[in-house]
Chains A and B, each alone.
Chain A
Amino acid sequence: MTATARSPKDTAAPQTELQLKMLRQMLLIRRFEEKAAEAYALGKIGGFCHLYIGQEAVAVGALAALKDDDYVICSYREHGQALIKGISPNAVMAELFGKATGCSKGKGGSMHLFDARKGFMGGHGIVGGHVPLGAGLGFASKYQGTDKVTVCFFGEAAVNIGAFHETLNMASVWKLPVIFLCENNRYGMGTAFERVAAVTDIVEHACSYDMAAELVDGMNALTVYDATRRAVERARKNSHPTLLEVRTYRFMGHSMSDPLHGVYRTKDEVEEQKARDPITHLAQKLKEDGVMDQAALDAMDAEIRAEVEEAVKFADESPDPDPEELYRDVLAD
């Protein structure tokens, strides 16, 4: 039995450069999502739109441990992962706007961002439905003899889905190079996990499938990076899967139609969690370490705000898809 719910001890010496990169990436997601919320309110973005605010450290920390050609596959709360995997803010924002210049040509929207060339294998809209897809990507990499690793992000609510259990079993039996990264933000829409799950320490599910596992603080990009790095090594060197339970919190509602705290959590709870803001936390650390001062932070923020402003302008000015797009790409040649 290799599964244990343990806290990481062998933290790598964090490099200043990496920390600065992570801070910048988290800020990019934050500012991007704030603009997306604005655009949604203005009616520029339609349908469902699930924001990542509060959870930035998870995508940023995990993706920092990957190589460019590794695969990432996500649920529908995937704007952050898409941006960090290398899809430009312009292409992501244009997709949210449903424009032809979007990363899925305006036919996927917020929940279905894709860039296969960058190894970003989609946002998927059915809770837990993409967990076997992640294992399948790992199956392909192993079959082809590459050393690619797949990280499959999903929320804690997906753990109650059959596909999760079927997949973890097969991934373990077949030793697939896949990291199952559960972002436990505590609520599946408005349902607290402990109200609907018999086992609330998700990491313990790994025991059922003889899989390595770690419990990770998801409000700290560095701990996420360290845990993912260990899991990546396990996958790349030995082709062993890992289950990571990364505890995080979304500061916004489930989607744009869900109020900030609503009826299922208190305002106090949200405020308490906001005090653990992963961006403030890392910025504070870098200031304390003398790496950057407030002026440098402000300059970084201003630069990112301009980049996101440009993405909104690009999306707004981009054309809608041609009417012929309706029937294009239903089938491949």
Chain B
Amino acid sequence: MPTLTYRDALNQALREEMQRDPTVFLMGEEVGVYQGAYKVSRGLLEEFGPKRVVDTPIAELGFAGIGVGAAMGGLRPVIEFMTWNFALLALDQIVNSAAKMLYMSGGQIRMPIVFRGPSGAALQLASQHSQAWESWLAHIPGLKVVAPATPADAKGLLKSAIRDNNPVIVLEGEMLYNLKGDVPDGEHIVPIGQAEIKREGNDVTLVCHSKTLPVALKAADQLAEQNVSAEVLDLRSLRPLDEAAILRSVRKTNRAVVVEEGWPHVGIGAQVVDLIQRDAFDDLDAPVQRVTEADVPMPYNKHLERAAKASPEKVVAAARKVLYLNGD
């Protein structure tokens, strides 16, 4: 199986879907001549031309809305945001237009559109460029939200997103673009709404997604050295959420830690914990713990930044807590 970076896996998904369906086009800042701010769209302008790889001005609200209108007119737009931080300017179009079009038109107007780009913190980009928006976006009925953590999932989920007849949010990661992994050639589809066990274990479930998958895997390695067998469950899709997979794993391990990049208050982890307490209360041997970003705007200083982020050490500590191994 070929080894690709996460970036090239996304590129392959875009290229294959644009080859397959002439109504698919890519629009965003720097996607064409510059080859993508993060080179995800490298080579696409040369292959598909400026009609289908459209460079925009810095006007997120405007081009997101033009994408929504184009979807109303029968196209399948892929709207790239240079980062999701800038997409806040476009939230009116994502929430008020895209997410509601089918419902408020009484089922008449489908909205096959993808909004994609990197979300969350990279390194030392400070407060305004380091935000993880999944809980905001996953809150909205009418949207689907995916957050792939591996190159194979990036390709398979982006292909599913482009083929979906609903608005799909694809949260990528600046720190994931260089990650390498096996990616199946050609028709590789990951259905939206399916979590995946990335590492099997019996003692505790580490629920994670996107950039917290490598964090959870490292934590699982460290826990193994302490004779703790951790199961790592990658949500992959945040709306719809694969509730059955979460419950299945928790019923096996009886303990859970939910790890996410975003802030703690009203986060994705809160939703997961709500599910577990409601449907797996009697299976739990300990209260569920959460590991999140510190509840502060992201600081610039690298030591402070590191302290703010979820880390394998924090996950190990949380896992030890649900296993009552901390002596408290």
Please say whether chains A and B are actual partners in one complex. Answer: yes
Residues of A at the B interface (CB closer than 8 Å) are 71, 73, 102-108, 112, 114-117, 121-122, 124-126, 129-141, 143-144, 162-163, 166-167, 169-170, 173-174, 328-333
A-B contact pairs, 18 of them (CB 8 A): A114-B109, A130-B65, A132-B63, A133-B66, A133-B72, A135-B62, A136-B66, A136-B70, A136-B73, A139-B70, A140-B75, A143-B70, A163-B65, A166-B61, A169-B57, A329-B102, A331-B144, A332-B102
- Is there a chain A Cβ closer than 8 Å to B59's Cβ? yes
Tell me, in angstroms, the Cα distance from A124 to B96 when the chains sit together.
Answer: 9
CB distance from A321 to the nearest CB of B (A): 9
- Is there a chain A Cβ closer than 8 Å to B25's Cβ? yes
CB distance from B165 to the nearest CB of A (A): 4
In the bound complex, do residue A105 and residue B67 qualify as a contact, i.e. CB atoms below 8 Å apart? no
CB distance from A159 to the nearest CB of B (A): 14
Tell me, in angstroms, the Cα distance from A139 to B51 when the chains sit together.
Answer: 10
In the bound complex, do residue B97 and residue A133 qualify as a contact, i.e. CB atoms below 8 Å apart? yes
- Is there a chain A Cβ closer than 8 Å to B64's Cβ? yes
Tell me, in angstroms, the Cα distance from A107 to B67 when the chains sit together.
Answer: 24
Task: Assess A140 versus B73: contact at CB under 8 Å? Given A112-B105, A129-B96.
Answer: yes
Complex partner residue of B69 from A134, A162, A330, A331, CB under 8 angstroms: A134
Residues of chain A within 8 A (CB-CB) of B68 are 132-133, 136
In the bound complex, do residue A170 and residue B66 qualify as a contact, i.e. CB atoms below 8 Å apart? yes
Over the window 90-125 of chain B, the binary record of Cβ atoms lying under 8 Å from chain A Cβ atoms (1 yes, 0 no) is 001100110001111111111110000000000000
Tell me, in angstroms, the Cα distance from A112 to B96 when the chains sit together.
Answer: 12
CB distance from A27 to the nearest CB of B (A): 28
In the bound complex, do residue B92 and residue A126 qualify as a contact, i.e. CB atoms below 8 Å apart? yes
Tell me, in angstroms, the Cα distance from A184 to B216 when the chains sit together.
Answer: 58
- Is there a chain A Cβ closer than 8 Å to B141's Cβ? yes
- Is there a chain A Cβ closer than 8 Å to B190's Cβ? no
In the bound complex, do residue A130 and residue B57 qualify as a contact, i.e. CB atoms below 8 Å apart? no
In the bound complex, do residue A170 and residue B56 qualify as a contact, i.e. CB atoms below 8 Å apart? yes
Tell me, in angstroms, the Cα distance from A179 to B164 when the chains sit together.
Answer: 31
In the bound complex, do residue A135 and residue B66 qualify as a contact, i.e. CB atoms below 8 Å apart? yes
Complex partner residue of B104 from A107, A116, A129, A170, CB under 8 angstroms: A107
Tell me, in angstroms, the Cα distance from A229 to B117 when the chains sit together.
Answer: 41
Tell me, in angstroms, the Cα distance from A129 to B97 when the chains sit together.
Answer: 8
Task: Assess A135 versus B106: contact at CB under 8 Å? Given A144-B74, A330-B141.
Answer: no
Residues of chain B within 8 A (CB-CB) of A135 are 62, 65-66, 69
Which residues 133-150 in B have Cβ within 8 Å of A in the complex? Answer: 141-142, 144
In the bound complex, do residue B103 and residue A107 qualify as a contact, i.e. CB atoms below 8 Å apart? yes
Residues of chain A within 8 A (CB-CB) of B102 are 329-332
In the bound complex, do residue A132 and residue B109 qualify as a contact, i.e. CB atoms below 8 Å apart? no
In the bound complex, do residue B61 and residue A108 qualify as a contact, i.e. CB atoms below 8 Å apart? no
Complex partner residue of A166 from B59, B74, B107, CB under 8 angstroms: B59
Complex partner residue of B109 from A122, A134, A140, CB under 8 angstroms: A122
Complex partner residue of A167 from B54, B62, B96, CB under 8 angstroms: B62
Residues of chain B within 8 A (CB-CB) of A73 are 69
CB distance from A329 to the nearest CB of B (A): 4
Tell me, in angstroms, the Cα distance from A328 to B56 when the chains sit together.
Answer: 35
Complex partner residue of A116 from B71, B103, B108, B144, CB under 8 angstroms: B108
Residues of chain A within 8 A (CB-CB) of B51 are 143
- Nearest A residue (CB) for B27: A139
Q: Which of A108, A131, A135, A330 has the most CB of B within 10 A?
A: A330
- Is there a chain A Cβ closer than 8 Å to B249's Cβ? no
Complex partner residue of B73 from A71, A106, A112, A131, CB under 8 angstroms: A71
In the bound complex, do residue A170 and residue B75 qualify as a contact, i.e. CB atoms below 8 Å apart? no
